[in-house]
Amino acid sequence: MYVVLGAGGHVGAAVANTLLALGHSVTVVTRSAAKAAAWQHKNAAAAVLDIHNTQALKTVFKYAKRAFLLNPPAAVGGNTDVLERQSVHAILSALRGAALEKIVVQSTYGAQVGAHCADLGVLYEFEQGAQQLGIPLCCVRAAYYMSNWCAAVPQVLANGVLSSVLPATVPVAMVAPHDVGQFAAHLLAAPVEQVGTYFIEGPKHYTPAEVAHNMEQVLGRSVQVNEVPPEAWLSYYRSHGFSEQAAHSYAHMTEIFVANRYAQPDAPHKGATSLMHYMRAALPPLVAG
């Protein structure tokens, strides 16, 4: 039995769906009874629990063969540095003593040491903690999710402006979340001997200006990029509901990302989904909603 955390999100759902298509027995872990029922209709099992309930999660892992591990993002209105490390600790604690054949940890480009650089520091600690478990491990470091741009759709529809903390004309490695999930699922199902850190991005790099152009094509209206300068990052994040702590942490992460102060992959896996293909699928439901 394969356990999948985060199946309520894009990446985890793609992991679970891919494993089911490969014929594996899957148990998803979710806090939502409604989402659990939806997965049961797909012939998956479901464990309804909070991942902070270490004993309950430990029981799920006790009967598992392999597991996909995704640390859920904390609400940005709180202290994300603390909250996300608490969930990492809960997951790792539940894994100690588990007789798993293999685990896959979902991580990110730029994962590195740092107490206040948002996901970059949290997921690096997740990787390091998972390595100490002694279970065969794959870490999947994903590029900037194409889905991150979906949050801008209401603003784009309202005034044709796409705000970006990334420079408008600088190409960035981006990837469709379902490509990440499919890749992670295949690594999880691969022979135990296939371990290590893997990078995944889309078929090419894209600039925020290209994102705006793709949105124009899909939404049928002009879209201009509003490049948010570094001195305005804090106020930008605050205006979007980030706590003071989270705003500083995300601004620091943005600084690292924009300055490319992280290891660049030599030969990343290339997901098949282009930005245009992703937006043609993702944006219309948001408009209809």
pLDDT tens-digit readout, 163-198 = 999 999 999 999 999 999 999 999 999 999 999 999
Pairing of strands 205-206, 172-175: antiparallel
Q: What share of the chain is helix, strand, coil (3-state, %, to 5)?
A: 45, 20, 35
Can you list the positions of beta strands (E) in the chain? 2-5, 26-30, 45-48, 66-69, 102-108, 137-142, 144-145, 161-164, 172-175, 196-201, 205-206, 224-227, 269-270
Cβ distance 105 to 139 under 8 Å?
A: yes
The closest of 60, 77, 78 to 69, measured between CA atoms, is 60
Q: Is the pLDDT assigned to residue 209 strictly greater than 90?
A: yes
The closest of 7, 282, 288, 276 to 147, measured between CA atoms, is 282
Q: Tokens in use for 124?
A: 């690096």
CA distance 260 to 182: 27
The closest of 64, 98, 69 to 5, measured between CA atoms, is 69
106-158 tens-digit pLDDT: 999 999 999 999 999 999 999 999 999 999 999 999 999 999 999 999 999 99
228-242 tens-digit pLDDT: 999 999 999 999 999
Q: Is the pLDDT assigned to residue 206 strictly greater than 90?
A: yes
23-70 tens-digit pLDDT: 999 999 999 999 999 999 999 999 999 999 999 999 999 999 999 999
Can you give the pLDDT at residue 288?
83
Q: Is the pLDDT assigned to residue 289 strictly greater than 80?
A: no
The structure tokens 């206040």 sit at 116
Q: What is the distance between the terminal CA atoms of the chain, rounded to a whole angstrom?
A: 36
Output the pTM of the full model: 0.97
Can you give the pLDDT at residue 37?
97
Q: Compute the residue count for the chain.
A: 289
